Structure 1
């Protein structure tokens, strides 16, 4: 019985030590998540403005031509895959890898990997890694601009015919959604905003100087790098949220395990005390 009590006590100590680690990681992830969430929310207006500007030029300007607007036969693709720097974040990393590889449909496409886990995954699988960026947290706008220029050069040279980005969209601290979008060539579909504008009044046309093509050639690199940078920020916020949720769940499970173990310990201890009392009483009765 003494061995059983000691074993339960050792398990309680082990679970308590693990719980201290998970709670500490939860606090760190919560702190980083709040800062990353603010960055993600602050970057969205910039991205939306860039998107609307490029879309307006591409869809509402007649005769505009640009190499990034021209679609061609798809032979090779490039995927910019943003994952985490560390694990212990639930299904955060595996979800983005499943989404990306499913879209590749078994082909060994070119990959630009951002995040240590992304680099490890695609290098082990034998993919053609064009760029490897181990640290998502320190991936600033200048680095994303370099990545955007690399992807655009590949597209202009004809080495790839489509460029996609895979990242995790930050919806809320409890919800993160893996997402894959095509960034090259630029494809925009007209929505019903023109119909609404006709009902409200004729929409004023914007005149782009010196020409729509010049404005487009200037703004497209910033637009593509903006998408990548937004993906980095959204992914980092999602990673911290996923890790926070995973560590909170682990801490809650540890609480339940401790309750069960403490109950078992008390029962075993009570049983041991009862047995000792019974032995003492039995010895006293034998002496009479």
Structure 2
């Protein structure tokens, strides 16, 4: 049985841990408010651009379609971009993401496909390097520090487009945690290359009675100009979503840790009081027994 000194040290350690986790929870909550606003503000722009490009793509002539839209005509080599966090203490945020990426990589390799990886965030590269290190093309650490920036997303996109221009892959998909609410984050894949419009792309224009658009100079020229910009927009959006989801996951994890530390303090305090009472009782018995012996 631990001594009273050991119990006091354990209680002090748990109290210190509870103060730290409580402070981290408040910091994450403060960052979450700003990150959530940024992620939600980016959604309409990214969704409207995707819808507009989908409408353009439906009218583009296949023979004149840009390479980012038409692709290479093959799907032999897949590039997977993984957006994770640079820091831990955020529950299963990174573990769930890495698990889904491993499942996807294994499925593609089982089909005989070649897979390449680009990671954004230290945690994904650290967890995937042990078994998938040979697939790594590039890693980007601290790219979202102190918060995601469009310049950081553009850095990743330049690498992706250079690889695509050099025919180093056929399909590019980005994996990230989508922010749903403070308690829920969803691992979401998004195909970047070739551009795959959503099923309802252009549906708003078709259903609201608006007149059809007339594009100048033509759909192909506009797509050639907008598709590269769309890549940066979509990657930036995923980084914002991931950053907000990370803060939400950390806030929840630190809240649970604070509660667990409180429960441990209560349990240790009860054990300490019982041990102290038993020690006092034992000392009283010894004193009384010694007095009676005289």
Is TM-score (shorter-chain normalized) higher than 0.5? yes
The aligned length equals 284
Which aligned pairs between 1:143-158 and structure 2 lie closer than 5 A? 143-158=152-167
What runs of 5+ residues in structure 2 fail to find an aligned partner? none
> Corresponding residue for 2:224?
217
Matched, 1:119 2:125: yes
Equivalent residue runs for 1:169-188 within 5 Å: 169-188=178-197
Matched, 1:252 2:253: no
Q: Which among 252, 263, 281 is matched to residue 288 of structure 2?
A: 281
User: Residues 189 and 269 (structure 1 numbering): CA distance in 2 closer, same or farther, change over 3 Å?
Assistant: closer
Which of 149, 161, 173 is equivalent to 1:140?
149
Q: Distance in 1 between matches of 2:287 and 2:227?
A: 88
SS in 1 for 2:68: coil
Give 1:25's aligned residue: 24
Note the alpha carbon deviations across 1:236-267, whole angstroms, 9 max, x for none: 11111111111111110010011111111111
Alignment RMSD, CA only?
Answer: 2.3
SS in 2 for 1:180: strand
Q: 1:191 to 1:236 in 2, by over 3 A?
A: closer
Given that 1:144 and 1:225 are in contact with CA atoms closer than 8 Å, whether structure 2 keeps it comes out as yes
Matched, 1:53 2:57: no
1:219-240 CA-partner distances (Å, limit 9, x unpaired) = 1111111111011111111111
Assess, with a 3 A threshold, how the Cα gap between structure 1 residues 207 and 259 changes in structure 2: closer, same or farther.
same
TM-score where L is the length of structure 1: 0.90
TM-score, normalised relative to structure 2: 0.88
Equivalent of residue 265 in structure 1, options 263, 272, 276: 272
Distance 1:192 1:219, change over 3 A: closer
- The superposition leaves residues 157-183 of structure 1 with CA deviations (integer Å, 9 ceiling, x where unpaired) of 321010000100000111111111211
CA contact (8 A) 2:83 2:176 kept: yes
